[in-house]
Amino acid sequence: MRILVTGGAGFIGSALVRHLVGEVGAEVLTVDKLTYAGNLASLKVIENAPNHRFARIDICDRAALDEAIASFRPTRIMHLAAESHVDRSITGAADFITTNINGTFTLLEAARAYWSTLPAAEMQEFRFLHVSTDEVYGSLGPDGFFREDTPYDPSSPYSASKAASDHLAIAWHRTYGLPVVVSNCSNNYGPYHFPEKLIPLIILNALDGKPLPVYGDGSNVRDWLYVEDHARALNLIASRGRLGEKYNVGGRNERSNIDVVRRICRTLDAVRPAAAPREQLITFVTDRPGHDHRYAIDASKLETELGWRAEQTFETGIERTIAWYLENDWWWGPLRSGVYGGERLGVLPAAAARTGA
């Protein structure tokens, strides 16, 4: 199996590449532009693996994609490259439109050109997995779950750009017969998570004794999935998912943001008691514009059709994650002191003025 993974230097992409190279034993070509979110240090554990290569490529660059695909001859493309942070999409959506929509279009066209030249048996075997988010479905009330047939209703520039890319991927299957499968996953957390996202930001601020920013009243609910459970799901969906179908991925681990933050504080207080109680660092800040209230995934299609189960509960996954951040400041230290120091992103000037923030 030769697998081309786009976005393989990012958070989920690197977990997938480590899984495919280290555990599955596939030949992997990681394709990544190395934006602020891409980091080759996340692939350090496999840097000497003979079955892994890296190519710095922008997925909007058709010629570079054609060349990489022609020389690697993938049996699968797993597409994770994206601009992924909602707050950054609020401040400036241009890169999200360029990479998530135009980049996906460019990659689909490069994949289609390559696939259409393959001998019949290889054509049959080829798969294109488009990796997406549950945020395309919009916001839930207190009840109910996102299913694969839930209508799309995205709220942020990020989720709207991902919704567009999902439609392109499915259209390339229906129109051109490209063997596409789509996955829509809930919020991930775990090792190598860029510290702009809630869980690593709270862990690192709590370790530094800095304020722990919680948007609004902290009641927004997310359905958390440990990233290595997601990586296994992606391999399964790419291997055995039905063509033209979507699969929701989620761990049945709904938690409000404030509960997540309190949990991190309690765990850190237990292992580093000198700075306890860290809950006193919690600071409620202006809510995110267009903040979806609740996400929750019904993953029964993936569970019953493909036999996937999340191995980590939120409790076991968050313990592992915190332990990883405590042991791996070589990875996050340079990011916190360089690319991103923890400042607030995604506040609109008008909203800031209204609230006095």
CB of 353 to ligand NAD, least distance (A): 30
208: Cβ–Cβ under 8 A, 6 or more apart, which residues? none
- CB closest to ligand NAD, residue no: 10
Kind of pairing between the strands at 180-185 and 221-223? unpaired
158 included as an active-site residue: yes
The reply on whether position 108 binds ligand NAD by CB under 6 A is: no
Binding mask 31-60 for ligand NAD (x = CB under 6 A): -xxxx-xx-------------------xxx
Q: Which of 133, 155, 156, 220 binds ligand NAD (CB under 6 A)?
A: 133
Q: Which of 3, 4, 7, 207 binds ligand NAD (CB under 6 A)?
A: 7
Measuring CA to CA, how many Å separate 357 from each of 70, 123, 288, 344, 351? 52, 56, 12, 11, 8
Closer to ligand NAD by Cβ: residue 133 or 220: 133
Consecutive H or E run containing 314 = helix 314-327
Measuring CA to CA, how many Å separate 340 from each of 16, 129, 349? 24, 30, 21
The reply on whether position 146 binds ligand NAD by CB under 6 A is: no
Number of residues in contact with ligand NAD, rule: CB under 6 A? Answer: 31
Could you say which residues in the range 173-232 bind ligand NAD, by CB under 6 A? Answer: 185, 187-188, 194
Q: Where are the beta strands (DSSP E) in 24-150?
A: 27-32, 52-56, 76-79, 127-133
Measuring CA to CA, how many Å separate 305 from each of 125, 170, 223, 302, 325? 19, 20, 21, 5, 35
CA distance 294 to 292: 6
CB of 61 to ligand NAD, least distance (A): 8
Active site (catalytic) residues:
134-135, 158
In the complex, the residues that contact ligand NAD under the rule CB under 6 A are 6-7, 9-13, 32-35, 37-38, 58-60, 80-84, 99, 103, 131-133, 162, 185, 187-188, 194
